């Protein structure tokens, strides 16, 4: 890590320069990304040797899981209790709840299995907002083009079209489910709602103001509404603390449900279903490239591992988003997110020399790479062994008095947890591992290449290309959760599983052996190693 400029000296320069002027000499974006983004570090990627994605590059930590053996043998599920449903939804975050609601409302009997508690996931941590083209000056085409451009034109255009096309209806649906949004203030009468018009802000990488939010805890408000709706919806059976250890297959190669592990009783449960929706989230807790993460405790790439072993294709699994503003100091909060809502509201990034060095609302990968460049080249701010850059919240408060107390509530609470006043002292931030840009390849209905297996949310790939546009994650989980849930209900009516078991594992183990890969390495991880919970040992005790 670069030494950086000592905090007292950097703070003095920040105060002397306020408001900070922009420095000249920005690198061209391709050079900036190649030189400083973690995805491009030498040795960052490993090539997969087995499975449908053989030849793809991905981080070594993820490759180890994707090329691991199953935790289970046929004998492990002999005599296990069996649950039957039309649709099995694996995951209890936003995408899982939306998929379960959509499938149940289409007439399906739904079993919903969560690793933790219902609602425990990354959705509640999404602070900035949700994008949708609802403004008079906006259009679906603008949203489409912004999404493609932010993802470096690597996204599947059919998926992007589905996402942006569903945007306005997704917002109406969320409001109908009870979610609140900030309303615009009436011109000339500050503080009064303007006829119910939604407040729109311009997010990083966008050409129009289309970010809709609820204060700076939009995901928490969304998850509140979705969780309540799911708990009240007839036809949904919820199994909390039941992580999935393996997908089930039938004699035609269809996905036929999953083997769950009941954490309370320490035993396997067979959840059979005509269609299965993966909504397991991402891989942040793998701490790729050694970065801290903003992700929740269960983000351990389980869905990628299970889908890949069953034969589902992956894409862009070598691309991860590093959110620009994770906490750098105090170190006990390292990686905790400072919402992009701060930069969307006008907070600037300042280096240890008192200079702005990047447009704060450039796409996230560009901002993160620029920050890492400042740190690598010695212009970061050093404090108690941590090195970061200033997020000028005092300057924002001067420009917009009261915004920290009334608009950026979560940010203010976070500062108080760190022991400082954000109206007087800037945050010290640096990029944090935030989002899995790629994942399981799907079509616009959420179907994977494996019959009977669908997916929605961060576990999927193809929608974001090589960088996600802020606010598209919350829209994605609604748009594709609804699509996958409806398609799963239809698929469950069309086909029923038969001769269900773990037949796909024999071919998988032969493939591992052929490449000289060890059968002793097991996956999914289920919980990160520092959780001191060994799922293999727990399963063994139950047996």
Point out the residues that are catalytic. 364
**Structural contact between residues 102 and 486, judged by C-beta atoms closer than 8 angstroms:** yes
Closest among 81, 524, 536 to 280, alpha carbons compared: 524
DSSP state of 42: T
Q: Which CA distances in Å does 304 have to 5, 67, 116, 276, 445?
A: 41, 11, 18, 14, 18
Structure-block tokens of residue 308: 């890949």
Q: Is 338 left (phi over 0), alpha (psi -120 to 50) or beta?
A: beta
Using omega within 30 degrees of 0 as the cis cutoff, is the peptide bond preceding 359 cis?
Answer: no
In angstroms, rounded to a whole number, what is the distance separating the alpha carbons of residues 356 and 58? 33
In angstroms, rounded to a whole number, what is the distance separating the alpha carbons of residues 448 and 237? 24
Quick one: angle between helices 157-176 and 472-494, nearest 10? 90
Per residue, the 3-state secondary structure of 309-336, as one string, reads HHCCCEECCCCEEEEEEEEEECHHHCCC
Closest among 437, 470, 438 to 206, alpha carbons compared: 470
Structure-block tokens of residue 120: 């425990």
Q: Which CA distances in Å does 279 have to 119, 250, 253, 481?
A: 12, 21, 21, 8
Per residue, the 3-state secondary structure of 134-145, as one string, reads CCCCCCHHHHHH
Cα distance between the two ends of the chain: 46
């Amino acid at each position: 890590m670069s030494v950086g400029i000592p905090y007292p000296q950097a703070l003095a320069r920040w105060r002397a320069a306020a408001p900070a002027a922009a420095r000249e000499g920005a690198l061209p974006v391709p050079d900036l990304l190649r030189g400083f983004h973690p995805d491009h570090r030498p040795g960052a990627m490993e090539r997969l040797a087995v499975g449908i994605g053989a030849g793809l590059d991905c981080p070594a930590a993820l490759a180890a899981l994707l090329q691991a053996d199953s935790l289970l043998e046929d004998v492990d599920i002999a005599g296990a209790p069996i649950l039957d449903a039309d649709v099995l939804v694996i995951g209890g975050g936003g995408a899982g709840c939306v998929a379960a609601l959509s499938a149940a409302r289409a007439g399906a009997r739904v079993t919903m299995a969560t690793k933790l508690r219902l609602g425990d996931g990354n959705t509640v941590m999404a602070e900035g907002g949700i994008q949708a083209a609802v403004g008079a000056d906006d259009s679906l085409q603008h949203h489409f083009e912004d999404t493609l451009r932010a993802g470096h034109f690597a996204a599947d255009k059919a998926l992007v079209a589905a996402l942006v096309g569903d945007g306005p209806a997704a917002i109406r649906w969320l409001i109908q489910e009870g979610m609140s949004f900030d309303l615009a203030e009436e011109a000339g009468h500050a503080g009064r709602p303007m006829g119910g018009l939604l407040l729109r802000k311009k997010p990083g990488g966008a050409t129009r103001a289309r970010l809709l939010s609820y204060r700076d805890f939009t995901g928490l408000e969304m998850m509140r509404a979705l969780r309540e709706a799911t708990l009240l919806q007839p036809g949904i059976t919820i199994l909390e603390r039941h992580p999935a250890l393996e997908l089930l297959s039938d004699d035609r190669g269809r996905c036929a449900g999953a083997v769950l592990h009941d954490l309370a009783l320490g035993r396997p449960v067979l959840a059979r279903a005509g269609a299965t929706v993966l909504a397991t989230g991402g891989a942040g807790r793998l701490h790729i490239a050694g970065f801290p993460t903003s992700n929740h405790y269960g983000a351990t790439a389980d869905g990628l591992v299970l889908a890949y072993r069953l034969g589902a294709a992956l894409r862009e699994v070598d691309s991860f988003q590093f959110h620009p503003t994770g906490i750098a100091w105090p170190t006990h909060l390292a990686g905790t997110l400072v919402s992009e809502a701060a930069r969307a509201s006008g907070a600037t990034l300042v280096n240890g020399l008192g200079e702005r060095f990047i447009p704060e609302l450039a796409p996230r990968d560009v901002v993160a790479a620029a920050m890492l460049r400042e740190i690598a080249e010695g212009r970061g701010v050093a404090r108690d062994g941590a090195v970061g850059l200033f997020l000028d919240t005092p300057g924002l408060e001067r420009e917009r008095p009261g915004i920290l107390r009334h608009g950026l509530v979560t940010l203010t609470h976070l500062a108080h947890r760190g022991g400082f006043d954000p109206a007087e002292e800037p945050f010290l931030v640096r990029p944090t591992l935030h989002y899995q840009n790629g994942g399981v390849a799907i079509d616009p209905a959420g179907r994977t290449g494996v019959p009977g297996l669908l997916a929605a949310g961060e576990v999927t790939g193809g929608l974001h290309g090589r960088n996600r546009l802020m606010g598209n994650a919350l829209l994605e989980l609604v748009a594709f959760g609804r699509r996958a849930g409806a398609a799963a209900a239809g698929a469950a009516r069309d086909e029923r599983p038969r001769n269900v078991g773990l037949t796909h594992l024999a071919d998988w183990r032969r493939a591992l052996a052929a490449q000289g890969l060890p059968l002793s390495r097991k996956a999914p991880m289920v919980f990160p190693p520092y959780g001191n919970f060994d799922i293999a040992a727990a399963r063994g005790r139950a047996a």
